[in-house]
Amino acid sequence: MGEIFSSFQGEGPLLGRRQVFVRTAGCNLACAYCDSAKFRREVTFCDVIAPGLRRRAENPVSLAWTMEEVRALWGRGTHSVSITGGEPLCQPEFVEALARACSAEGMPVYLETNGFSHRRFSKMIPWIDIAAVDIKLPSAFSRGGSEELVENELASIEAASRRGVFTIAKVVVLASTPRAEIEGLVPRLAGLDAVVVLQPASGDGRPSPEKLTELFEAAAEVLSGVVVIPQAHKMMGIL
C-alpha cells in the first residue's frame, strides 16, 4: 500500500467531491504522463496523510488496519472511498476485500484503474459504485501500447456500465495524440452508459487549445456526451 489520505477528487465528472483515497503501490504500465510514478513499484511504508497529520506503517499492511484508517479519515461530506494507484488490479485479492469491507459499512467505492485485466475487474464489480477506467492509447507509451490492453479496458467499461455502475471512460490526450487514435476508439464506446472524458495531460505533454479542440471534435462526431475535464487537483495544489 502506498498512502491513505483525505482530499478532493481532482479528475472527471465527480470533480470536487471529498473522498478518502487509498493508493496502492505497484503498476504494470509506464505511461508517459504518469503523475504518481513513485508508486509504480512496491514501497516500504504506507503513509496516512491529513491536515496536521502524518503517520506511517510498514508494508504489508492488513485489511483491518486499512479500514481503521479509512474510518478515521471519513468526515463530514465525504462522498466515497477512492481506490487508486499505482494500479489496484495488481493487488486483486486485497482490493476486492477492501471494496467488500467499505461496501459493507455503507461507504461507496470509487475504483480508478487502467482496466488491464477484465477478469480481475469483473470480480470486483459487485462492490464498486463508481468505476473510472483509463483507456491507454498507443501513443501514451514510448514503445507503443497493445491491442490486448485496450480490449481489456473496453471490456471492463462495458461490464461496469451493463451492471449499473456509474462508469467513467477516461482518455488522457497529449500534444502528440493522433486524431486517428480518437477516431478509431470512439465507435467502440458508442451505446455504452459511460461518461467519456478527454483529459488533457499536464506538463510538457499538454495539448494546445487547438489540438484539444481537434480531438474533442473527432470524438463528438460519434459521441454526444463527451466532455473535456483537466486535472484540477494540480491547479489547487492538493493530493
- For the record, the C-alpha cell of 17 comes out as 467531491
Asked if residue 9 belongs to a known ligand binding site, the reply is: yes
* Torsion of the alpha carbons at 31, 35, 40 and 41, rounded to the nearest 10: 150
| Cis previous bond, 51, omega within 30 | no
Asked if residue 78 belongs to a known ligand binding site, the reply is: no
Asked if residue 8 belongs to a known ligand binding site, the reply is: yes
Asked if residue 84 belongs to a known ligand binding site, the reply is: yes
Asked if residue 102 belongs to a known ligand binding site, the reply is: no
Spatial contact of 29 and 87, defined as CB atoms under 8 Å apart: yes
Nearest-CA neighbor of 91 among 132, 59, 65, 138?
59
The whole-angstrom separation of Cα 234 and Cα 93 is 31
Asked if residue 46 belongs to a known ligand binding site, the reply is: no
- For the record, the C-alpha cell of 180 comes out as 486517428
Asked if residue 208 belongs to a known ligand binding site, the reply is: no
Asked if residue 36 belongs to a known ligand binding site, the reply is: yes
Asked if residue 86 belongs to a known ligand binding site, the reply is: yes
Spatial contact of 38 and 24, defined as CB atoms under 8 Å apart: no
Report CA-CA distances (Å) from 6 to 53, 176, 194: 11, 34, 26
Spatial contact of 79 and 6, defined as CB atoms under 8 Å apart: no
The whole-angstrom separation of Cα 165 and Cα 125 is 8
Backbone angles phi, psi at 161, to 5 degrees: -65, -35
Residue where the block lists cell 470480480: 123
Annotated binding site for substrate: 8-10, 23, 84
Annotated binding site for [4Fe-4S] cluster: 27, 31, 34
Annotated binding site for Mg(2+): 36
Annotated binding site: 8-10, 23, 27, 31, 33-36, 84, 86
Annotated binding site for S-adenosyl-L-methionine: 33-35, 86
